[in-house]
Structure 1
Amino acid sequence: MIKNAIHLKNKVSIMIPSTKNAIEKIDNEKYVNESIILFSELFGGVTVLNCQGGYISSKYGLIKENVKNVFSYCEELTPENIASILEFIERLKVELKQECIALEINNNMYLV
């Protein structure tokens, strides 16, 4: 479609929380850096956006937090790449005591 361009048809992103245990604010830079390294190794590069997310907690009511949207584009998304991301997400969930972490693949959101 566009001459002399590489078409990166897949987009993968994760939201890095800035809270632990829903209401304890944390410095998430360590986790952002880890995700930048992971996505760069898997896909060659990464973009990070500052976002605000929120949800209603049955225990605490409205939870609003600043999250980092870490994403990459790639030509091919392999099962091995997805497994590496899921392994990272599972570790984040435990360390940050999160019910779930948002993973988006090609405009489809998964609450992992």
Structure 2
Amino acid sequence: MKVIKNKTVLMIITFIFVATFAYLSPMGNAFTKPKLIEAQTTSNALEGEFHLDNIVKIYIPSTNGSDPISTDEHNKWVDNAMSHFSIMFGGATSVDGNGAWVDDKGNLIKEKVTIVYSFAQKLNNSKIDDVANYAKQIKEELHQSTVSVEVNGKMYFVE
């Protein structure tokens, strides 16, 4: 192998090597504008079907203050919420779950909770105010510190 003594020739060869590598690099050509690849839209079986863009949820507790309520009383609250949401939004669904939090003494407090939710096409301030007022009613009558309301993925604690 022949040693190159001329620094200028060595610099030119290095520049050509780096420029060629940059041009052929999988990261793209550094000397030209990158090409934009447009997303291709594909259709599916639901394209063009009626859909609802908004979702509203209210969490129905199973306690009156810290005391558990009967299953019948809890079901009345759930039915009332489902009726309320059905009138407001055209329908409602309920899902049973378990809620939990840690009290001031570090104890895990668990309780049954039912989430009543509706999807809505149009969700305006008036309907959100109605849901918040309904949550306040539940809070007062069941002696809760807050009642949870979820709108489009954001959780609100109505006091």
CA positional deviation for 1:59: 6.0
In the TM superposition, structure 1's runs of 4+ consecutive aligned residues that sit over 6 Å from their partners are none
Q: Tell me, yes or no, if structure 1 residue 53 matches structure 2 residue 75.
A: no
User: Across the two proteins, how many residue pairs are aligned to each other?
Assistant: 111
Q: TM-score scaled to structure 1, two decimals? A: 0.91
Pairing partner for 2:53 from 4, 9, 13: 9
Match of 1:26 in 2: 69
Q: TM-score scaled to structure 2, two decimals? A: 0.65
What per-residue deviation string (whole Å, max 9, x for no partner) do you get for residues 43-86 of structure 1? 11111001000111226832100100100101110111111111
Distance 1:33 1:7, change over 3 A: same
Q: Secondary structure at the match of 2:102?
A: strand
What amino acid sits opposite 1:52 in the alignment? N
Pairing partner for 1:106 from 140, 152, 155: 152
Gapped regions of structure 2 (runs ≥ 5): 1-42
Q: Cα RMSD between the aligned structures? A: 1.6
CA distance in 2, matches of 1:71, 1:35: 9
Question: Which protein has the bigger helix share?
Answer: 2
Gapped regions of structure 1 (runs ≥ 5): none
Flag the structure with more relative contact order, 1 or 2, with Cα contacts below 8 A and sequence separation at least 6: 1
Match of 1:63 in 2: 109
What per-residue deviation string (whole Å, max 9, x for no partner) do you get for residues 63-110 of structure 1? 100100100101110111111111111111111110001100011001
CA distance in 1, matches of 2:105, 2:137: 23
Larger Rg: 2
